[in-house]
Structure 1
Amino acid sequence: MPRPSWKDSGVTNDTSGLRLRGITKRFGTFTANDAVDLDVVPGEIHCLLGENGAGKSTLMNVLYGLYQPDGGQILIEGVPQKFTNPKQAMAAGIGMVHQHFMLVEPFTVAENMMLGNEGGFVLDKNAARAKVRELAERYKMPVEPDAVIEELPVGVQQRVEILKALANDAKYLIFDEPTAVLTPQEIDELMAVMQVLRDEGKAIVFITHKLREVRAIADRITVMRRGKIVGHAEPGTSEADLAELMVGRAVDLRIAKSAPAAQDVRLQVRDLKVANAAGGIVVDGVSFDVRGGEILCVAGVQGNGQSELADALIGNIPPLSGTLTLDGVDITRARPAATIGAGMGFVPEDREDDGFVGTFSVAENLVLNRVTQAPFSRGVALDLGAIAANAEKLKDEFDIRTQAVSSPISSLSGGNKQKVILARELSRDLSLLVASQPTRGVDVGAIEFLHRRIVEERDKGTAVLLVSTELDEVEALADRVLVMYRGKVVGVVGPDTPRDVMGLMMAGASHEEAVRAAAEQPTPLVEQVHEAAVHHTEASEGQEGNR
C-alpha cells in the first residue's frame, strides 16, 4: 500500500476558531504536553489519536480548565483565554463529554441539566424539562426529561452528557474516548450525532485510540506520542499506518493463530449466581465450559456481570449458588490461594489495585504468588538471589522495559506493568488462565505482545477465559464468544459473528433475534469503512502478487 500523505503541519496562521499554541503541562518532572499546537475549526471533526498516556486527555483538560498550563496560549477568534475552572471554559463556548460520565445517578435527566446552571436559589424544573425536549428533538437524541439516570442504559446516559454540553450553547465540543462503553449500534448513533453537530457548524475534537472509528468519522487527524504532536494524516490513511505513527514502528494489528486443538473440559461452570456488595444479583444462573487449548471470550458492555464472574472464579467473591470445577476439582468456595494452587492464573481487571504491590520491586512482584515456595524461599528466609535471577529471566522473555528489576513497579508504564502481571502468571504451569480486560489502558505495541503471549499459552493446551469489552480484541483472540447481558448468558457464538449481530446481543437480543434485526438494519458506519479498507488492502496485495 502507498505510504500516507502526512501533512507538514496541522496548524495555520488563521485566527478564527479555537487555537492552542505551545501548550505545555508538567506534573513534577514529567512533561505530559510538550509545546503542543492544535487548531479546532468550526464545521470539522478533528480526531486526536494516540496511545494511552500520549497526552491527549491532559491537553483537553487544559483546554477545559481542569488543569492550568505551564506554558502556551489558548486563543478563541484570536483572543487569548485563561481558564482556571470548567465554568469559565463553558462560558467561552467549550463543552466536554467525558469518558466517565459526570452525572448524578439518583437525579433525573432534567435535574442533571440544571447542575451548574442554577442561577440563584430558585430551580426551574419546567424550563429544564423543556430544554431537554427541545435539544433531544433538534439533535434526534430521544431522552425522557424525568427519567432517573441510574435507570437508563449506558448509551442513553451518554446522550444526556452530550445534551448537557449543548444546553450551554457549546460551540467547541470535546468527546473524550466516548465509545469505550457503547455497543456497535450505539457507536453508530453517536457518530451520526457528531456528524449532525459538525454540519451545524460545531467544532468537534474526538479523542480516541480506536483506529476504525478515526477512519470512519475524521475530517482531520492529529497523532500524539509522548506528549508531542508527531504527525497529521488524511482520513483515508490505513489503520496500519496510523498505528505505526502512534507507536513509532510497524505493528501487527491482528495476531496470526491456528485453529484451536480443543482438549478436555478444564473449567466447568454450572448455574452460577453472584451478588454485588449491595446484594443485587449480577451473575444470574450462568453455565459454560472452557476446554484446554481454546480461548473463550466473555463479551458485553461493561457492568453486565463480567467483572463479578471473573472475581468469583478466582475466589474473591463467594457465589450465592452454583458450582465451579477445575480439572474435576470443586473450587466453588475456594479462596484465591487455593484456586491459584489448583492451577488457575489470574490477570485482574484493575491492575493498580489488584495486580501488584506498587511499592514492591519488579522482581518481588514477579513472585508474589510463589514467594513462600522453593526456590524463592528457604524456610522463613527469602532467597533474594533466586528472586533476582527469576526476574532477569522473565524481564528478557516478556520484554519488560525497566531500568532494573530492583526498581519499584510503580515506575513502569501501564503496558510494562501488565507484562509483569502476565509474566508472573504464565511462568508456572497452568490449567486455566483468567484474563480480565488484559489490555485496558495499554498501548498498541504492548497489546501486540500481550495478545501473542495469550495465544501461545492457549497453544500449550491451557484453557483461557478472556473477559473484554473491546470487540477488536474479542475478534482477534476468541475461539468462541460468550455474550453477557445483565448477568445472563445471551448466547455463545463464533468469533466471525458480524459486529452488528454481536452488538445487538450485547444489548440483550438472542442470537436469532439479533440476526433477524441486523438483516433489517444498515451496516454500521465504522464497519462500512473497515470493510472498504479490508477490500482495498486485499486488492492491493493481489496486484502486488501479480507483478
Structure 2
Amino acid sequence: MRLELRGITKRFGALVANDHIDLVVAPGEIHCLLGENGAGKSTLMNVLYGLYQADEGQILLDDEVRTFDGPGDAMAAGIGMVHQHFMLVPVFTVAENVMLGHESTRAGGVLDLDSARDRVTEIAGRFGFHVDPDAVVEDLPVGVQQRVEIIKALSRDADVLVFDEPTAVLTPQETDELMAIMRQLRDEGAAIVFITHKLREVRAVADRITVVRHGKVVGEASPTATDGELASLMVGRAVQLTVRKDAPRPTESELVVSDLRVTGADGQVLVDDVSFTVRGGEVLAVAGVQGNGQTELTEALVGLQGSVSGSVRLDGKELVGRSVRRILQSGVGFVPEDRSEDGLVGEFTIAENLVLDRTDGPPFVRRGALQLATRDEFAREKVAEYDVRTQGIETRVGRLSGGNQQKVVLARELSRELRLLVAAQPTRGVDVGSIEFIHKRIVETRDTGIPVVVVSTELDEAVALADRIMVMYRGRVVGIVPATTPRDVLGLMMAGVPPEEASGTDPENEGDVA
C-alpha cells in the first residue's frame, strides 16, 4: 500500500506543530522520519493514525483520499503503529492484548481466545519471535513486549507500519533484532515509517530519509550521508558530534557509595546493595535500559529518596540522612532527568530559576532581603556564558526551547562551588547543537578534578563521556568496565549478563567489577 501525506498542517493554538508537510512512503520501503525531539514527527504520525485531526492537508492510501476519526479507522484501513510507550495492558496475556478492541466470540458470547492464540502463534512463527500467547505481558522482558506490539499491528493485516522511536527502551542487541524485523517486513512489501532521532539507526536501516525541523520538511538525505551531514540538516548548522577529552587526571576527591539500597513505598527494592567509587577528575557513566534503578540511584545520592540505607560519602563526609538542601549546600550539583518536573519552575523567569535553591544567604540574600541587582547581574553573566537563547533574563523559562531550558539548569548547578556533579539524562529532549555544548561542559567539570556521575540510556552518549561505565540491571550493578568496552559486551550486560560472561574473558584488569 502506498502512503502519501499532502500539505499536512496541525496547530495547537499559536504553535504550528506540522507546517504543510508532504511525505510519500512506497510499498517495500523503510522511510525514516528524522528530526529532533519536538520537531513534529510524532504529531504527524498521530494525525495519520487518527489520534489528531489535521487542520489542513490530505492523507492518501493508494491515491485515494482517506479520513480517520480515530485509530480504529486507521487500523481498518491497514495502518498499524508501534508506539514509543507500549499500548499494552500489563495484566492481560499476549493473546488478550492482541484481540483487545477486535474481540471475536463463539456461541454463547464467549471470547474466542483460541483464534487469538492461533494468530499470535502464526505471526510469531513467521518472524521467529518465540512469544507464548498465554504469557502475562507484565512478566515479559521489554524487548518481547515490543514484539507483542508488532504482532498486534500485524494481526490486523497492516500494510503501512509506523515505528515511533521504537528503540528507546531496548538494548543494542534488541535494537539490531528490531532492525532485522523491519527489513523482513519491508521485503514482504510493507510500507514502513521509522521515526527516530538516532543517527546510527537511521543509517543502518533506512531506504530514504526525510528530515523535519521545527515542524517543516527541510530536506531529504541518502542513508549514505554522514552523521555530520544528517545532524547539520536536523539543526540547521554544522555541529561537532565527537566528545573531545583528554585522559583523566585523578585527584584526591572521591565519592564512595557502599551497600546502597532504596526501597519503594510498596516495599519493592529499587536499588539493591549498590557499591562503587568515583574519583575526582573522572566520569562514571551509569548505563542500562530505562527503569532499572538509575533514577532512584541518582535521587538517593542527592537525598530525594525516602527509604535509603547504606552509605554515600563525599570526601569522607556522609550524605545519607541529610536533607536535599544540605546536600546541595555541601557542593553537589544535580541535573535531574525531568527538567520540567524537577529542575525548573516554568512560570518563573530565567533569573529566578538561576537562584532557586540559593536564597538563604549571601550573595543573593542579605538581612532577609533579596538582592535583585546581584541576582540580575549573575543571571546576565550566566545567560551569556551558557549561550542561552532568549530575549532577556525576565523571560519565563517555560517559553524557552528544551535545549535552552537545560542550559539554565546546567548554569545554576555548575555555578555553585562544586565537589560532585550528578547529571541524569543530561541531553534528553535536547537538540544536537545543545548536546555538543552540554557534553563540553560536563568534560570541563571533570577536568577541574571533580567526580562526575552521568546517567544516560543513550549508550553512545555514555561511552563518549565515560572514563568507566557502570551497567545496571533490575536495581543491581552488573559490572563496572572501561569506556573502551565493546558495544556488544555492554549490550549483553544491559540484559543482565555478567561482564566476564558477556566478553568471554576473565574480568581481571578490565576495570572494577561489582
One fold, TM greater than 0.5? yes
Shift of residue 166, structure 1, vs aligned partner: 0.5
Superposed, which structure 2 residues align to 1:389-468 within 5 Å? Answer: 389-468=377-456
Correspondence list, 1:22-101, <5 A: 22-101=7-86
- 1:378 corresponds, among 366, 369, 390, to 366
On the 8 A contact 2:388/2:408 being kept in 1, the answer is yes
Alpha-carbon separation, structure 2, partners of 1:71 and 1:57: 17
1:151 corresponding residue in structure 2: 139
The Cα shift of 1:295 comes to 0.4
Cα displacement (A) at 1:341:
1.1
CA positional deviation for 1:262: 1.1
Conservation of the 8 A alpha-carbon contact between 1:318 and 1:332:
no
Q: Secondary structure at the match of 1:429?
A: coil
Unaligned runs of 5+ residues in structure 2 are 506-514
Shift of 1:321: 2.2
Q: CA deviation at 1:182?
A: 0.5
Q: Secondary structure at the match of 2:504?
A: helix
1:3 is aligned to none
Output the CA distance in 1 between the equivalents of 2:75 and 2:320: 52
Aligned-residue offset at 1:118:
1.9
Report if aligned partners of 2:308, 2:320 keep a CA contact under 8 Å in 1.
no
> Is the 8 Å Cα contact of residues 264 and 307 (structure 2) preserved in structure 1?
no
SS in 2 for 1:161: helix
Judge conservation of contact 1:272–1:285 (CA < 8 Å) in 2: yes
1:274-319 deviation per Cα after TM superposition (whole angstroms, max 9, x unaligned): 1123211111111001111110001111111111000100101134
Alignment of 1:117-516 (within 5 A): 117-119=102-104, 122-516=110-504
Secondary structure of 2:251's counterpart equals coil
Task: Report the secondary structure of 1:395's partner residue.
Answer: helix
Give yes or no for contact 2:300–2:308 (8 Å, CA) kept in 1: no
Alpha-carbon distance between aligned partners in 1 of 2:251 and 2:480, rounded to the nearest angstrom? 18
Tell me which amino acid in the other structure corresponds to 2:210: T
Give yes or no for contact 2:351–2:375 (8 Å, CA) kept in 1.
yes
What is the deviation of 1:95?
A: 0.5
User: Residues 227-254 of structure 1: CA distance to partner in whole angstroms, max 9, x if unpaired?
Assistant: 1111111111111111111111111111
Which of 82, 88, 94 is residue 109 of structure 1 equivalent to?
94
Question: What is the Cα deviation at residue 198 of structure 1?
Answer: 0.3
Q: How many residues align?
A: 502
State whether residues 480 and 494 of structure 1, in contact with CA within 8 Å, keep that contact through their aligned partners in structure 2. yes
SS in 1 for 2:322: coil
C-alpha deviation, 1:372, in angstroms = 2.1
In the other structure, the counterpart of 1:4 is none
Q: Secondary structure at the match of 1:59?
A: helix
How far apart are the structure 1 equivalents of 2:504 and 2:414?
A: 42
Name the amino acid aligned to 1:261.
Answer: R
Matched letter for residue 149 of structure 1: V
Q: C-alpha distance in 2, partners of 1:404/1:481?
A: 39
The amino acid that maps onto 2:48 is: L
* Alignment partner of 2:3 out of 8, 12, 18: 18
Distance 1:492 1:387 in 2: 42
Contact 1:319 1:333 in 2 (8 A): no
For 1:403 and 1:95, how far apart are their aligned partners in 2?
Answer: 43
Secondary structure (helix, strand or coil) at the match of 1:201 reads coil
CA shift for structure 1 position 265? 4.3
Query: Structure 1: which 5+ residue stretches go unaligned?
Result: 1-15, 518-547
For 1:340-399, what per-residue CA distance to the aligned partner results, in whole angstroms no more than 9, with x for missing partners? Answer: 011111011111111111111111000011122212112222122222111111000001
3-state DSSP of counterpart to 1:264: strand
Confirm or deny: 8 A CA contact 1:98 1:178 kept in the other structure: yes
The alignment's TM-score, normalised by the length of structure 2, stands at 0.96
C-alpha distance in 1 between matches for 2:253 and 2:367? 37
Q: What is the identity, as a one-letter code, of the residue corresponding to 2:149?
A: E
1:122 CA displacement: 3.8
> What letter corresponds to residue 364 of structure 2 in structure 1?
F
2-side partners of 1:372 and 1:84: how far apart?
Answer: 54
Give aligned-pair identity as a percent: 63
Q: CA deviation at 1:119?
A: 4.9
Does structure 1 retain, via aligned residues, the 8 Å contact 2:346–2:398?
Answer: yes
Which residue identity lines up with residue 21 of structure 1 in the other structure? R
Cα contact 2:104–2:112 (8 A) shared by 1: no
Q: If the length of structure 1 is used for normalisation, what is the TM-score? A: 0.90
